[in-house]
């Protein structure tokens, strides 16, 4: 009986040590949501796509709905190299507001090359935003480079 216990201890000891070692979790990246007054859209050229959410007031129901949707599903945008830039002050005069000139609520998507690809006057589901981005030529090229089996 004693030999059985010793054998069990010898066999289970390495597993007990493994169970106690806890790997630190890799820091999960967070979706960047920035105020348009603090950034220049040209800073993101060739590195990140911009999803611009603009309104005349932070109390605009469309603005609030869009931001809630984005905050609930950030992963869909993270995988597509997106930064969200928010401007809810019509008098801000931010470079992005001057470039896009929104009237009321507007959702705009700017690709990595700086080209305005989409403008929408109403909120969109995050999945729909992701689908729009996936149709961009630069995004298709990125996907082919990451997954060359699709060629």
Kindly state the tokens that stand for 95: 């470079």
Residues near 63 by beta carbon (within 8 Å), at least 6 away in sequence: 53, 54, 55, 57, 88, 105
Rg (CA), the chain: 23
| E-assigned strand segments in the chain | 32-35, 49-54, 82-87, 106-110, 116-120
In a domain, 144, yes or no: yes
Give yes or no for residue 145 having a pLDDT over 70. Answer: yes
Q: How far is CA 81 from the centre of its chain?
A: 6
Q: State how many domains the chain has.
A: 1
State residue 15's pLDDT score: 52
Q: How far is CA 109 from the centre of its chain?
A: 12
In a domain, 4, yes or no: no
Model confidence at 20, pLDDT cuts 50, 70, 90, reads: low
In a domain, 9, yes or no: no
Q: Dump pLDDT digits (tens) for 56-89.
A: 999 999 999 999 999 999 999 999 999 999 999 9
In a domain, 104, yes or no: yes
Domain at 53, CATH number = 3.40.30.10
Question: Contact, 111 vs 47, CB < 8 A?
Answer: no
Distances, alpha carbon 39 to alpha carbons 12, 144, 150, in Å: 56, 31, 37
More confident residue, 30 or 1: 30
Q: What is the mean pLDDT of residues 112-140?
A: 98
Model confidence at 146, pLDDT cuts 50, 70, 90, reads: confident
Of the chain, the percentage scoring pLDDT greater than 70 comes to 81
Three-state DSSP state, 120: strand
Task: Output the pTM of the full model.
Answer: 0.80
Question: Contact, 81 vs 48, CB < 8 A?
Answer: yes
In a domain, 134, yes or no: yes
């Amino acid at each position: 009986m004693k030999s059985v216990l010793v054998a069990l201890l010898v066999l289970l000891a390495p597993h007990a040590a493994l169970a106690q070692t806890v790997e630190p979790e890799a820091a999960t990246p967070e979706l960047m949501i920035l105020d348009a007054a603090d950034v220049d859209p040209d800073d993101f050229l060739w590195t990140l796509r911009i999803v611009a959410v603009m309104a005349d007031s932070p109390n605009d129901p469309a603005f609030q709905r869009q931001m809630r949707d984005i905050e609930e599903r950030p992963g869909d945008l993270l995988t597509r190299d997106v930064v969200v830039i928010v401007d809810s002050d019509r008098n801000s005069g931010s470079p992005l507001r001057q470039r896009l000139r929104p009237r009321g609520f507007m959702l705009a998507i700017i690709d990595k090359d700086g080209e305005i690809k989409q403008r929408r006057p109403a909120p969109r589901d995050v999945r729909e935003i992701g689908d729009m981005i996936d149709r961009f030529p630069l995004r298709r090229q990125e996907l082919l480079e990451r997954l060359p089996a699709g060629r």
